[in-house]
């Protein structure tokens, strides 16, 4: 049952009205059906309402069906702010700046891989550094660090980690202009120096999958997907580097709140006016961290392709391993959107939400201009992941945004407690899923029960029309940090 004052708009949306909480400037809208409504946290609803109180917010404070309580903004939150009187808030991006997902296709079929799956997963685990504090194969020198922050995935390709054609299939070409390495703290540099090309820990993963369902044959064909095909999904972000950038600028923003006399319902929403030096400095540092993350995923993908080729004793190009797309889901970007009938530039915060631009959008690569942006939605390691496509309705309703994953229903501590006495790896192996992890606790934290059912989450955004289902991918082998 919905909390008092909330009302259901339709089968996929509920409204958090302006009178839900004092100070709200716009309504809140949460994309959730009656099934997922049962898992809504009061704290997450309150965070949607709190964001609605920020200066310059446009249209509504929104949240996707994978919503759960986060820092300041709910995870799954989307909010856009006017550039004249709006604000920038690090809590609307999160600590793992440009945590995101990329998907590779291959010409391999499930039946070719299953007999060798255990050995393949072991090879990948040995080739891709993962785990808390993991150190990569790359040691960045000062000149390389600066170029990486300025050029993102392009830096990685120029260093030999991939091909120039990869850049065409990455959101923003794998680089946002305007990064400023001089704004990065010494501590952030230290944390990022040895972590480039690492998966990290927690919900980050590399997953060997197979396509087990096609919902839209035409779009699947254009993405190069077919039933029974083996794919690889990579989910990671800017590691300790991005975390430190966020930490550093939260302190800056807390001072800015007092300087600009901004009233907040929650100090975690610390922010500064878009045109202020504090906000512009944060955005320049955030762009550096976003570029670090794109380079990170590029390096990991390169080593993944190399590991497959070596394992299957195949020459370059023989396995058809190419990038479908790479999406960011913790980022703030200046974008053009139509609001009240006129085109406006806004700073769109997506915190645990994925861009879902429609067919014809100028930011899409030529290969996908006619069908819309590929949307990659990872699930938990025991169920499924999905490929969707962006829509015009998303552009009109959610600033071109959709969900980003399953969304937690248990804290990590609760999950560890629930998993006590269980062998999660064996439970997965019984389902035909081979998993390798840097620690047993990670598997407990990330077990399926700790998450909402990804199928329910994806059904909501599909029914709402803010992205359309294309294919379902089932896990075969998983590497967790």
Active site residues: 404
Please, which contacts does 151-155 make with residues 24 or more away whose CB atoms are closer than 8 Å? 151/175, 151/291, 151/295, 152/176, 152/290, 152/291, 152/292, 152/294, 152/295, 153/291, 153/294, 153/295, 153/297, 153/298, 153/326, 155/291, 155/295
The CA angle 341-469-63, to the nearest 5 degrees, is 55
- For every residue of 348-370, DSSP letters joined together read EEEES-EE-PPTT-TTS-GGGTT
Quote the DSSP letter at residue 33: -
Whether residue 4 contacts residue 21, with contact meaning beta carbons closer than 8 Å, is answered with no
CA distance 184 to 189: 7
End-to-end CA distance of the chain: 38
Backbone φ, ψ for residue 327 (5° rounding): -120, 145
Closest alpha carbon to 162 in 112, 116, 104 = 104
Six-digit token string for 111: 């039946």
Whether residue 443 contacts residue 425, with contact meaning beta carbons closer than 8 Å, is answered with yes
User: How many CA atoms does the CB half-sphere of 219 hold within 13 Å?
Assistant: 22
Whether residue 3 contacts residue 42, with contact meaning beta carbons closer than 8 Å, is answered with yes
Q: Tokens 């934290």 label which residue?
A: 445
Closest alpha carbon to 249 in 272, 230, 218 = 272
Whether residue 54 contacts residue 89, with contact meaning beta carbons closer than 8 Å, is answered with yes
Whether residue 271 contacts residue 87, with contact meaning beta carbons closer than 8 Å, is answered with yes
User: How many CA atoms does the CB half-sphere of 176 hold within 13 Å?
Assistant: 26
Closest alpha carbon to 398 in 333, 360, 354 = 354
Neighbours of 181 (CB within 10 A): 17
């Amino acid at each position: 049952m919905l909390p008092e004052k909330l009302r259901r708009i339709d089968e996929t949306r509920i409204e958090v009205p302006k009178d839900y909480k004092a100070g709200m400037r716009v309504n809140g809208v949460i994309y959730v059906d009656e099934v997922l409504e049962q898992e809504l946290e009061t704290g997450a609803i309150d965070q949607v309402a709190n964001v609605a109180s920020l200066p310059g917010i446009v249209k509504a404070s929104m949240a996707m069906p994978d919503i759960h309580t986060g820092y300041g903004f709910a995870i799954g939150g989307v909010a856009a702010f006017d550039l004249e009187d709006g604000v920038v808030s690090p809590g609307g991006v999160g600590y793992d700046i440009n945590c995101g997902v990329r998907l590779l296709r291959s010409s391999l079929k499930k039946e070719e891989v299953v007999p060798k799956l255990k050995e393949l997963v072991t090879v990948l685990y040995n080739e891709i550094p993962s785990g808390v504090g993991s150190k990569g194969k790359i040691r960045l020198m000062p000149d390389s660090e600066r170029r990486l922050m300025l050029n993102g995935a392009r830096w990685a390709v120029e260093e030999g980690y991939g091909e120039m054609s990869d850049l065409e299939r990455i959101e923003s070409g794998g680089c946002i202009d305007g990064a400023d390495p001089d704004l990065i703290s010494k501590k952030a540099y230290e944390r990022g120096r040895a972590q480039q090309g690492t998966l990290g820990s927690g919900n980050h993963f590399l997953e060997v999958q197979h396509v087990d369902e096609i919902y839209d044959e035409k779009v699947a064909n254009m993405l190069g997907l077919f039933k029974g095909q083996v794919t690889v999904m990579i989910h990671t972000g800017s590691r300790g580097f991005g975390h430190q950038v966020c930490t550093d600028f939260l302190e800056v923003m807390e001072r800015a709140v007092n300087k600009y006399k901004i009233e907040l319902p929650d100090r975690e929403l610390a922010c500064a006016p878009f045109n202020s030096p504090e906000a512009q400095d944060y955005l320049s540092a955030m762009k550096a961290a976003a570029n670090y993350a794109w380079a990170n995923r590029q390096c990991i993908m390169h080593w993944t392709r190399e590991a497959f080729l070596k394992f299957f004793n195949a020459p370059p190009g023989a396995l058809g391993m190419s990038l479908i797309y790479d999406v960011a889901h913790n980022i703030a970007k200046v974008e053009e959107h139509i609001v009240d009938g006129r085109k406006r530039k806004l700073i769109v915060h997506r915190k645990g939400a994925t861009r879902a631009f429609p067919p014809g959008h100028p930011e899409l690569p030529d290969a996908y201009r006619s069908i819309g942006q590929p949307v990659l939605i990872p699930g938990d390691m025991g169920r499924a992941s999905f490929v969707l496509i962006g829509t015009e309705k998303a552009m009109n309703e959610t600033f071109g945004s959709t969900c980003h994953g399953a969304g937690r229903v248990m804290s990590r501590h609760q999950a560890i407690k629930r998993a006590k006495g269980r062998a999660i790896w064996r439970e997965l192996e019984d389902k035909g899923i081979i998993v390798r992890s840097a620690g047993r606790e990670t598997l407990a934290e990330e077990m399926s029960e700790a998450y909402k059912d990804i199928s329910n989450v994806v059904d909501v955004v599909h029914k709402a029309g803010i992205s359309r289902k294309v294919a379902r991918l089932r896990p075969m082998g998983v590497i967790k940090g």
